[in-house]
Structures are given as C-alpha cells and as structure tokens.
Structure 1
Amino acid sequence: MTYQEATAARDTLAGAAEALRSLAASLPFVQGDEIGEVVAQLAQVAAATRGALASVAVEAQARGVVAESGCRGTVAWLQHCAPGIKDSEAAALHRAITATGRRGNAPLREALCSGEATPSDAICAAETVDELRRATDAALHDAFAEGVAELSRAQASRAVLREYRTEMLARFGTEQSLDELHAHQQARRGVTAMRPVAGGMWRFEATLTPAEKAAVDATLTALSAPRRDAVSGAADERSPAQRRADALVSVFTKVAGHGQAGPLGASTRVTLILPVEALHAPCPHRTCDIFGIPHPGQEPCDCPEPVAAHDDLGTALLPGDTRRLSCGADVSRLYVGAQGEPLALGRTERCATPGQRKALAARDGGCTFPGCEAPSSWTQAHHLVHWADGGGTDLDNLALLCQRHHTYVHQQHIDGHVGPDRTVHWHTSWAGGHWAPDPGPCDQLSPPAPDDRAA
C-alpha cells in the first residue's frame, strides 16, 4: 500500500464511524430479511477494527512511538490516544501482542493483526503453544504454532484448545517433559482459605490437576443432577450453581458423619460456641426494619432475644444457621455465659448411631420430603423436634432428608411426625408453586435447660 492509499484509508475512518453511529436510527427502515446481513457486516467490521487496532499498537511499539510518548507503557499509551478504551481491553491487547511476539508465534501474530483472533483467544493460543513447545521436540514447534493459529482463526473455544493441547502432549510429549509438567501442576494445585463476601456469604477457590478435576467433577455432576418433584411434577428450580453447592455440602457432611480426624488429631466435626440465647427463634410478635430496629407502636413482650453463635474457627452464625447445623451435623457444643465464660461442655454425639441409620434407611428408603426421590446415602438424619426443644435422638423423632430439603424445612419451619404406620408425615402442602408449611400456631423455641446440657 502506498502513502496516498494509506491516507485515503484513514480519511474514510471518520465517515465510517459516523455511519455506524447513525445505523441504529435507520434500523426501522431495514427490511426484516436484511437484518441478519447487517449483523454479519457489523461482525466483519468489528473484526477488522480489532485487527487494525492490534496492528497499530504493534507498529507503535516497533517504531518507538510508545517509548517516546512519555507514557508508562502500551496500555497507558492506548488509553491516552483513545480514552474510551477500557483498562481490561487495553491490558488484554498488550498481553496478546507480547504473547504472540515470542519466538515461533508468527502465525498467531498474523491472526491477531488480521482480526481473526481476539486478544483473549490469542493469549490462550500462545500459552498453548508455549506449553507444547516446552514438552515436545523442537522439530514439531512450527507445526504446533500453525495448528493452534488455525484453531484461533476458526474461533475455536478454549475447551477445543485444551483438548488439542492434551492430544498433542499424549502423542508427542517426551517422558521427561511430561514428568516436569506433572510436577508443575502439583506445584500449582491448591484450595484457598475461606474468605467473606457480601451478604454474609463465604467463598473459596480450587485449582486442581486434570485427574483431580475428573474425580471431583464426576461426584458433583452425579449429586447435582436436577430432580423433578415426584408429587407435583414441578421442575427443580435451583440453578446449576446452587445444585453443585448442595452436592458439595452433602459430600462434606457425609465425611463429618464418619467422625474422622485430621493428621494433628483435629476432628472433622463442628464445634459450636453457644451463648445461652443462641437457639432462640426470632420473636413472632415484633417486626423490625432492615436495621433490626422494631417498628414503633408495637406491644412489648417477654420473648427472649436471640443472639449469634460461632464455631471454633470463628465463623459467625445466625440462630437459624445454628439450629440447622446442630440438627444434622455431628457437633460438640460449648455453652458460654454473657461474658463468654464456659458453662458446660456438651459431649460429641451423633444425630443417629450407625444402627439407627440402618433402621432409618430401611424405614424411610431415602429422603422423606414429599416428591423427593434422593436415596438414603444422600441423606442426613433430621430431628423432627429439635434437640434444643427437648427432642430425643430416637427413631420416632428422626427422619431422613437430603441436603436440599434439610435446609428447606428449617428455612420454611416445616414440622413433621412419624405416624402409626411408621411413615414420616410432613405438615406441608403444595401451594403457589412451592411446598409451604400447613397453617398452625407458631411455637416459641428455646435452648435446653442448663441442667440438660452437660453430658
């Protein structure tokens, strides 16, 4: 291209930008069968623009324009020239230019500058080429770079790139390089500590090897499959993420139920630090605003005020969480007074003994909540009358519930009983698209008397 041609191309940019801005206003005049063509044309323009921007940034780096501008680097220079470019977009473009500039990545650089590969795709592709280059014979490196570039031009997903990488490593990886890759993966694997997030929730992240991912994924996939309500026929309304969370908690709860100990002797069972008032239910006579302040004009009452509890790892628990956790988990309970002084140490006890679990499995067959078909191996033993309210750990006061419905009956305050036919009957009805508790008096719940806390 000559200088005159380059100048003419630049002159068309202003008109092209104006045409794009006016396109939205003209859409009502576009025929219905032409809208798809407009989308295709816009996609071509977007790809060409993306590639041209990458080419300009590469040229600016090569000529020293970025260095002479006084900007800190390419990202700052891009944003100085075009303030509308977001930080993440400028950073991704800079990373893509750097990654495709490494030795042997010329095909990827061409795909980036032509707009056929997005910056994020080019980065992922370059990382794939680098991994293959480290693990295979040098004679194959150019072929790998070209193969990955072709996948990028075809807009292949990252899953396809990962599959290509794994296949090439299986075919051409050397034993030493694969051992090094395994050691590298082992060094990177890990699980972060729990950290608080908004809304009183907690989050952690895991980085796993492919073999570990396969084992974890198989378990979570099996346990998180959506379950249609067998009675009402209603679909499982939980999101995939919520179903996986229920599955994950079910796995951990099952391990805790075996009473295993860690390498230093710490138990997998939860230890609850319980103030005397920790298990009081919210007062049914008063309503509060979002700050917990009672609305004016309400009659005073003598209901005890519930307080928060926590476990021995420092996790703060609302009264509802405390009751739900103590109902289904193996726990040690330490009661404390108003100043935090220990009052009595409750013994660690299982909600149901192994013999009771077998009897419950034979009696209930699985989750007893209406419409649920979860097998007994996925369930927990639930106290129909909470131990805090004097309920005993015997078969007439126990019912099997899956993790999902164990949480649900506590959230919805649904009661149940074991009938003369040895069947669990839940006091709930299908109404308004969900299971709701049957109307009835709301009993005030309270913790056990002090004399009953000691083992």
Structure 2
Amino acid sequence: MSEPLGVVEREALERARLGEIARRREAFARLEQVAELEALGVAEKSGDRSTSRLLQETWRVGVAEAKRLVGEAADLCVRTSIPGEQLPARLPATAAAAAAGTIGEAHIAIIRKTMARLDRVEGLPVATWEQAESTLAHDATLLGPRGLQAAADRLLAHLDPDGEEPPEDDAARDDELLIVRRKDGSVLYRGRIGDPVDGEAFLETIDAVSGPAGPSDARALKRRRADGLKDVIEDARSPHGIATDARPGRTDNARDEEPDAATDNTIDENALIPVPRRPDPSERTAHAARPGRALLTITLDQRWLTEALAGRGRYGLLDSGARVHPGTLRRWACDAEVVPVVLGARSEPLDVGRLQRTVTDALRRALNLRDGGCAFPGCDRKPRRCQAHHIRHWIDHGPTEIDNMVLLCRFHHQLLHHGHWTVAIVDGRPSFRPPDWIDPDRRPRLGGRPRVPT
C-alpha cells in the first residue's frame, strides 16, 4: 500500500489541527470571562436583568447564543459558593477537555444535554453520574458530534433503560394523510404515521422499491422514492392487488371459506408472543403474484420477557431503535413475516465457519442487533443499507462468524478496504483504529449502536 500523504500534506494537516485547538481554547477562555461576570454580579450591579441580557448588549450576540454561553459557563467553569469558597466545575472532565481544546461546542452541547437527562434518573448513584460524565468527555476527544451522540444514546440506554415510555397501542389515532389536487392535475400530499411499527413497515417497503436501477441510474433518492411509491400503487391496482380487492362488488370466494384446523388464525390473548398467523393456502394461491410484506424484527430482552410474564412488560425494539409498546408487540407478533427476537441465551447457531461466504439470516439478524446499523463511529446508516464485512477477509481464510463480521454502509465498507482504518471485535463490540494522520496515537474508537443494556 502506497503512502497516501507526503510531508507537505502532513504539515498542512498539523497546522490545521493546531489552529482548531487554539480556537477551541479561546472559546473556553470566553466562557471563563462569562463565569467571571456572573461571579462578580456585574449584571445586577449595572442594573441589567441577567448576565445573558448583559452579553446581548455588550457583545451584541443573539438571545440563544447568550443563553448558551451562560449555561456552558455555569457547567464548565470554576464556581464560587455563597461563603466565597472555590468549587470545581459541575462537569469537570468536560471542562478539562474544553480547556485543552480537544472538544468543541457541539460536543459540549451533547454532553450537557445527556447529563441533564441523567440528573432526572431517580436513584442514580453520584459515582455513576460522575463516571458517565468522564466517559462522555473521553469519547468526545475521539469522536465527532454524531459519534458522540451515538455513544450518549448507548450510555442512556444502559443507565436509564426505561427511558421515555413508548406510545400506547392506539398511537395510530393521530395518523393522517392530507392530499391536495392542483389545477394542473398534480397531487401534493403530507402525512403522519404514529405507530412506530407501521412506520418501520412503511420505510422498509419504500426503501425496498426505491433502490437505484443500476450504475447508470442518476435519479436522486427523493425521486427514486416517489417512483417507488408509484410502483406500490400500481401493484395495488393489479388484478389481485389490495385496491382491486376493495372495489365495490368484488368478491373472493377463497375468503368466504371457513378455515380448517390447519389454518386456524385464532389469537390467544393470554400469550406473550402469539403463534404467527398462517395464511390460508387458497389465499396464498390467489395472491401469489403480490409482493410479501417487509420483514420486521422486533427485539425483546430476556429480562423484559420475564417481567412481562409477571405483568410488568416494558417494550420491544425495532431495527431503527424505536421503542414499541407491549400491546403493539403482541399484535404484530401474530404476523408470519415478523421475527420476534428474544435476547439472552446464545442458543442460536450463529457460526457457519468456512462452509459458506455469505451470512445466514440468523447471523445477519445478530449483526443487525449488535451493531444497530453501520458500526463505523458516527455513522447512522440503518441495517438495511449496510453490508456484512469480513474483518479477516474470507479469501484469506477468515471465517463467516459473528466475531469476524461487522456491518458497514457502502462508503465505510470501501474505506475499510483501503486499509488505512482497521477494525477488530473487542469484548463483543467493533473497535476501529484511525490512520495516524487523523490521530497520531491511533486510539481505538468504539463502534456500533446496541439498543439494549448489556
């Protein structure tokens, strides 16, 4: 592999890096000036209402920026108690990183928001709170804002697993589709799908039919999605489509027949995850030409499953990370094309060794669950837009098993194959090392976005 950067390029990168550090240090010095104004009570003594208002007048900044500066100064700068005693910053690790110039404004905003959320977690030990702040500050020195947000979400999922209660099973009550036909015949529409599972099914379907038609397809994503929606409508109007079946006077003898014992679709209301609904054979024949529903995976932690059996169920998780109310989970688990995944015992045979190069469905679901999408730090591509990458290449005798696989989007898959970034599985999680021109120390960066506490 040839050296991609010469001496001149490396010197330019180093000057840019040092310049950004200097700017961030100056930004922290600015916060210290705000903290000093606040400690001296300058606003009150000058007759102004607050330090925020004083900054708006003297520095000629906007309301939002003035409030941000005062809030960051309160969290990151040394405080003075009522008796005049010097107190450390409320977020000491973040303050140290900001003073060193290794993190920026966006990092600080994410950490402050996350710690404010943890302030509201009932019964959280002080030591745990402090460790969380230290962890986020450390992650911020390695990751961009997007990657730090993923790390913060992961931390919140662990320390506050209940989180905000997901919507009830009647979330669809606010569903709407507004359609306006214009004089030129074109149609404008805007809508909302409240049920997260319905939303997941919608996205799965639209994405499935809106991929590029080939390497020469230059359509933008929004155009491909519009064309895909038209394809779905055209399919619905086909001889056995749902729109054709719903027309007045249309009958389907297969649907009037009584189901036999083999195709009984009765739902046991007392079952946690009911037996999947099996379609009637005649219905399968009549609708053989229609595309199947998008495959959805709903994840339920084994501990939550146990609590649900005792009447204390929490929620399930979709591939997108959306939380699903237990009632919604029960309803959708009746569908034969929904895969309920119960976490806990590792009884599913995931390792397929050297028998095949491509991943099995079971292995792919495990990768989706572990990585949550593209595992590269900061990337937010969903699992359905990712490829399974062999860490040790299959052609180099790398096995097709979960500890040698990682989910990557197309861009980051190509980036890994260039060879400057490396990835390894450490303690069951993807860990990436950048090239030395990004980080001279090549410190590892934790990847993946697991959505359940571990």
Q: TM-score range by the shorter chain?
A: 0.3 to 0.5
Of Structure 1 and Structure 2, which has the larger fraction of its residues in helix? 1
Q: Highest Rg: 1 or 2?
A: 1
Task: State TM-score, norm by structure 2.
Answer: 0.37
TM normalised by structure 1 equals 0.37
